A and B are shown apart, each in its own frame.
Chain A
Amino acid sequence: MVVDLSLEFCGVKYPNPFTLAAAPPTDNAEMVARAFEAGWGGAVLKTTSVESEEVSLVYPMMHGLDFEDKRLAALENIDLISEHHIDVVEKNVRWLKKEYPGHVVAASIMGKTKEDWQILVRRLEDAGVDLIECSFSCPHGMPERGMGSTIGQDPELTERTARWVKEAARRVPVVIKLTPQIADITAAARAVQRSGADGVTAINTVKSLIGIDLDSFVPYPNVSGYSTFGGLSGPAIKPVALRCVAEIARSVPIPVSATGGISTWQDAAEFLLAGARNLQVCTAVMRYGFRIIDDFKEGLSYYLESKGMSSVAELVGRSLPYIVEHSQLPRNGRVVARIDEEKCIRCDGCYLACLDGGHQAIELGPERLARVNSERCFGCAMCRAMCPVPDCIHMVPHPGPAEFGQV
C-alpha cells in the first residue's frame, strides 16, 4: 500500500506536511533549496519586515537546556527577524518558486502599522509566495516595539491586524502565528477567525529564562554581561504546543499549522491527531539537519500503513473527540497498577515513588520484587511513569469494588 502524505492546508497543497518553520534554517534560499532536495514539503521563510525596521542582532543569541546527560531538551533564542532586506527575500521567493514549483514557499511577515503589513503582503504576493504567515507572537525583542506577541496577547488587536493583512491579500491565504503566552489561546484563535484570515499557526516560542550562570550570576545567553528573556523551543515545549493545537482545533473551524517541539514522526502523528493539518519544524532541524525528513516521512508512512490508512489526512483531528472537560471524565472505572514479575528488574524504583510520592501501595516482597497492594492503590500511575522497563507496569481494572471508599 502506498501512503499519500500530501496534505492540503488553507487551500495550498503540500507534498507532505513537513515544513520548515520561520527561523534560521530558512534564512537563505540555498538552505531552503537543500531542504527541498532532501524532501521537505514546504518552508516558511524567516520573518521579514519593511526596510524602516532596523534589525539589531546580539550574540550569543542561543542557549540549550540539558536534562541529565541529554543535550538540548530545549533551546532558548533571542534572535530577531531576518537581517535580509525585503528585496532579497523577494528575490529568494522568485528563485525558489522557479526552481521548486512543487514545494510550498511561504513568507513570514511582521509589521507595526497597517501600511507596513499591507505593503509586505502585496510585495511578497507579487513575488510569488504560496502563503503568508503573520507573526503576532515573537516573545522577545519585538514586543517592546509594539510588535510580536504584543498583538497576539490582545484578541482585539489580533482581529484588527489580521483583517488588515487579509484585506491586502488578493490571492494567497493568510495565516496568523499565535503565542502561547495568553490566558486563553482559543480567544486569539476566534479573533483570527472573525478577521477572515484563513488559518492559524501554533505555537511560537515560550517566553523563558533558560538558566543562570552560577559563577557570574548572569543569566544565559550572556551578552557582554547582560541577558534578557527569550523564546523557548524544542522537545520541552511539545506538550504545551500539543495542548494549544488541540484547544484551537476544537474551538475554531479554520485549519491549524502546528509547531513547537516536533522532533520525531511520533510527535508529528500526535499533532495531526490533535487537529493540525500542517507541521512546522525548526529546533530538530538545527539539531539533526535537514536529513531527518527521511525518518519523519518513512516513520509516518509505516505508521499510517499499520493503521490501515492510505492518506495522512485520515489522521487529522482523530483524537479530539477523546478530549473532554475534567468534570466529564468517567468516574466509574477504578484501576490499579499491576507489575509484570517477569519483566521487573528489581530496581524497586516504583516502591520508592509510591512510598515518597504516592499512597504507600507498593510493597517489597522476597528478593525485592515489588507488589501492588490493591487495597491501597488508587491507580494514579506514577509508578508506571517512572518504571525504567518498557511495558512492565500496566493499569488494570481493580479486582474489587469499582467505587472508592468501599474497599
Chain B
Amino acid sequence: MGQKLTKGQVVTAAARCLFCYQAPCQQACPAAVDVPGFIRRLKTGNWRGAAGVIRRANVLGGICARVCPANELCEGACSRVRLDGRAVAIASLQQAAMDTWYSLNLTTPIPPLTGARVAVVGAGPAGVAAAAELVRLGHEVTLYEAGTDPGGTMIACIPASRLPLEVARAEVEKALAGVEVKLGVKVGRDIAWGKLQSEYAAIFIATGLGGGQKLQVPGADFEGVLVAEDFLARAKKGEQPALGQEVIVIGGGNTAMDAAQVARQLGAARVTVVYRRTVKQMPAWPVEYQNALAAGVEFAWLLQPVAILGEDRVTGLRCQRMRLGKADASGRQRPEPVKGAYLELPASNVIIALGQQAGPVAAELGLATTGTGIAVDERGMTSKAGIFAGGDVVNGGRTVVQAVAEGRQAARSIHAYLGTGKEGA
C-alpha cells in the first residue's frame, strides 16, 4: 500500500530501481504495469510520461497504488530485495506519479469512433477499466450501473484511511471520460438484457458479487447484527453507524479486518474477530492482519458461531469450539467441532464478514458458470457469443488490480471480436 512521497523521496526511491529487463515486478502485476518504464520516467522528472505508462496498463493506477497488496505482488517480486533486502517502493512511486498527473488536470484525447456500440454493465474496477479501454480503442460505450455512484464496492467499502473517497471518485471520473454513464439503472430489472443484446454489438458484464452473505444461525435478524459490506459503506459515507462497546466480527478475510478496524475507529472499546480456523489459514493479507492488531483488534481462533444471543437485540454470540483436521480441497486444514465444547461471548454488535454471494446475472442470462462465477474463455467471452465478463463476477472476488486487468483484457478481446466479424458466434 502506497505512501505519500515528497519530490525528493521520489527521486531517492526511483534511484533504487535496478531497471530489470524482464522485470519480475511487471510479471507479478495482474495488470502488467511496465514498472521499470514508469520509474525511469519518474527519475527524470517525466511525470506525464510516467503516468502515461501506468494508465496504458491500469487506468485506476492511483487507486491500485493505495489498495494493492504490493508486498504480495510487484514489491514482493522486486529484485532489489535480493540485493539489499528492501524492495523499491513501487506502490508509493505509482501513487506519486498518478497524484502528480491528476494535479496537472490534463485531458486525454478521445480517438475517432469506429461506429461500434458496446454496453458495459457494472461500474466497479473491471467495468471502468473495460469502458476506458473500449473508448481508447474508438468504440462508443454505455456504462450501466445499478447504484448511484460509479466505482463499485471498491469505492464504497474500502476504508477511507486507505482509499479516500475524493481520490477514488476523481480517478474514476477521469477514467470514464468519453463514456456514457447511466447510473441507477439495473440491467435485468430496469432494462431487459435482451434489449442490450439487440442494441449493442457486444456486452461486458462486470456486475461483481451480490452483496454480503448473511449468517444462517438463530438470532441473525436481531437488532445490532450488521453485514460487513453495508457497515463499511455506511461508515465510509460518514453515517457513523451506532455501535456498542463490545463488537464481534465474524470472518477471516480482508473485509473482516477492515470492518474490525473501522469499528475501533468508530469508538468500540473491544473488537474481537471470531474465525473458525487459525491465523495460519486466514485468507486476509498479512499486512491487513498486522494493521488490525495495531488498531487494537483482538482475535479468537477456532470458533464457529452457532447462535446469536439476545432478545430482539444482540447480547452475545454462542460459538462451537473447533480444532483443525485434515486439509480440504483448498489445502487448508478443515475445522472440525470439538464435541460438547461451547463458548459464549458478550457482544453489543455482531458484524458478519463471510464474503459476498454470487449475483443473479449468470442465471438471468443462462450463462455457464464455474466454481467462482461466470465461465469465460481466454478472451473473457462467456458461453454466449458477444457477451464478455470479468472481475469479481468471474473470479469470485479477488483484488482491484485483478479486476482492472480482466476488464482491460476483455475490452481488447471485444475490440478484436468486433474487428473480425462475429467470429465464434
Contact with B along A373-393 (1 / 0, CB 8 A): 000000000000000110000
Contact B21 A351 (CB under 8 A): yes
List the A side residues contacting B220 at CB < 8 Å: none
Stretch at the interface among A15-23, A141-149, A285-293, A341-349: A341-349
Judging by beta carbons under 8 Å apart, are A348 and B21 in contact? Answer: yes
For residue B299, CB closer than 8 A to chain A, the reply is: no
- For B22, list chain A residues within 8 Å (CB): 348, 364, 368
Stretch from B10-18, B109-117, B230-238, B386-394 that touches the partner: B10-18
Q: Verify if B106 is at the interface (C-beta below 8 Å from A).
A: no
Which residue in A69, A346, A349, A355 is a CB contact (below 8 Å) of B82? A346
Which B residues touch A345, using CB under 8 A? Answer: 18, 79-80, 82-83
Are A349 and B18 in contact, CB atoms less than 8 angstroms apart? yes
Report the separation of the CA atoms of residues A68 and B20 in the bound assembly, to the nearest whole angstrom: 17
Q: Are B15 and A348 closer than 8 Å at their CB atoms?
A: no
Of chain B, the residue at the smallest CB distance from A345 is B82
For residue A57, CB closer than 8 A to chain B, the reply is no
Least CB distance from A96 to B in Å reads 40
Q: Does B24 reach chain A (CB closer than 8 Å)?
A: yes
Specify which of A68, A345, A349, A352 lies most central, judged by the most chain B CB atoms within 10 Å of its CB: A345
A240-271, CB < 8 A from B: none
Cβ of A133 to closest chain B Cβ, rounded Å: 39
Q: Known contacts A68-B43, A69-B11, A368-B24: does B19 contact A349 (CB below 8 Å)? A: yes
User: Which partner residue on chain B sits nearest A70 by CB separation?
Assistant: B15
Q: Are A69 and B15 in contact (CB under 8 A)?
A: yes
B83, A349: Cβ atoms under 8 Å? no
**Residues of B contacting A349 with CB < 8 Å?**
18-21
B contact face: mostly helix, strand, loop, or mixed:
helix
Can you name the residue of chain B whose Cβ is closest to the Cβ of A356? B21
Closest to B45 in A: A214
Chain A residues, Cβ within 8 Å of B82: 345-346
Distance of A346 Cα from B79 Cα, bound (Å): 7
Most A CB contacts (10 A, CB to CB) among B15, B21, B79, B82 go to B21
Smallest CB separation, A305 vs chain B (Å): 29
Q: When chains A and B are docked, how far (Å) is the Cα of A365 from the Cα of B14?
A: 28
The residue from A70, A352, A388, A389 contacting B21, defined by CB atoms under 8 A apart: A352
Residue of B12, B20, B80 touching A348 (CB-CB under 8 A): B20
Which residues in A have their C-beta under 8 angstroms from that of B19? Answer: 347, 349, 352
- B12 engages A347 (CB within 8 Å): no
Q: A345-B79, A346-B79 are in contact. Are A68 and B21 (CB under 8 A)?
A: no
- Taking CB atoms and an 8 Å cut-off, the chain B residues in 71-124 that contact chain A are 79-80, 82-83
Q: What's the minimum C-beta distance from B257 to chain A, rounded to whole angstroms?
A: 33
Least Cβ–Cβ distance between A358 and chain B, in angstroms: 13
Contact A347-B20, Cβ < 8 Å, known A68-B11, A388-B83: yes
Return chain B residues, CB-CB under 8 Å to A352.
19, 21
Q: Which residues of B contact A348 (CB under 8 A)?
A: 20-22
Interface centre among A347, A348, A355, A364 (most CB of B within 10 A): A347
Query: Given the complex, which residues of A lie within 8 Å of B11, measured CB to CB?
Result: 68-69
Task: Kindly state the separation between the CA atoms of A87 and B260 in the bound complex, as whole angstroms.
Answer: 78
Q: List B residues 339-375 near A (Cβ within 8 Å).
A: none
B89 to chain A, nearest CB (A): 13
In the complex, residue of chain B having the shortest beta-carbon distance to the beta carbon of A387? B18
What's the nearest-Cβ distance from chain A to residue B242, in Å? Answer: 50
What CA separation (Å) do A69 and B19 show in the bound complex? Answer: 15
Output the nearest chain A residue to B10 by Cβ-Cβ distance: A69
Smallest CB-CB separation from B82: which chain A residue? A345
- A326-377 contacts to B, CB under 8 A, are 345-349, 351-352, 355, 364, 368
Interface string of B1-34 (1 = CB under 8 A from A): 0000000000110110011111010000000000
- Minimum CB–CB distance for A31 against chain B, Å: 30
Question: Of all chain A residues, which has the CB nearest B44?
Answer: A68
A69, B83: Cβ atoms closer than 8 Å: no
Measured CB to CB, the closest approach of chain A to B86, in angstroms, equals 13
Task: State A389–B84 Cα separation when bound (angstroms).
Answer: 9
Question: B39 CB to closest chain A CB, in angstroms?
Answer: 11
Given the interface pairs A346-B24, A346-B82, the reply to whether A69 lies near B18 with Cβ below 8 Å is no
- Considering the chains assembled together, what is the distance between the CA atoms of A388 and B83 in angstroms? 8
CB distance from A172 to the nearest CB of B (A): 48
Q: Is the CB of A68 within 8 A of B18?
A: no
If A348-B21, A349-B21, A364-B22 touch, whether A68 touches B15 (CB-CB below 8 Å) is yes
Enumerate chain B residues within 8 angstroms of A368, measured Cβ to Cβ. Answer: 22, 24
Contacts A68-B11, A69-B11, A346-B79; is A388 near B18 (CB within 8 Å)? yes
Task: Kindly state the separation between the CA atoms of A351 and B21 in the bound complex, as whole angstroms.
Answer: 8
Contacts of B20 on A, CB cut-off 8 Å? 346-349
- Contacts A364-B22, A368-B22; is A347 near B15 (CB within 8 Å)? no
In the complex, which residue of chain A has the Cβ closest to the Cβ of B15? Answer: A69
Residues in B with CB closer than 8 Å to A351 are 21
The smallest C-beta distance from A256 to any residue of chain B, in angstroms, reads: 36
Instruction: State the CA gap A349–B82 with chains docked (Å).
Output: 14
Residues of A within 8 Å of B80, CB to CB, are 345
In whole angstroms, what is the CA distance A352 to B37 when docked?
Answer: 14
A345 to B15, CA, bound (A): 17
Docked CA distance A204–B219 (Å): 88
A-B contacts, 21 of them at CB < 8 A, read A68-B11, A68-B15, A68-B43, A69-B14, A69-B15, A345-B79, A345-B80, A345-B82, A346-B20, A347-B19, A347-B20, A347-B83, A348-B20, A348-B22, A349-B21, A351-B21, A355-B21, A368-B22, A368-B24, A388-B18, A388-B83
Known: A345-B18, A349-B18. 17 other contacts (CB 8 A): A70-B15, A345-B79, A345-B80, A345-B82, A346-B24, A346-B79, A346-B82, A347-B18, A347-B79, A348-B21, A349-B20, A351-B21, A352-B21, A368-B24, A388-B18, A388-B83, A389-B83
Give me the interface of B with A, judged by CB distance under 8 Å.
11-12, 14-15, 18-22, 24, 43, 79-80, 82-83
Closest 6 CB pairs of A and B: A69-B15, A345-B82, A352-B21, A347-B79, A348-B21, A347-B20
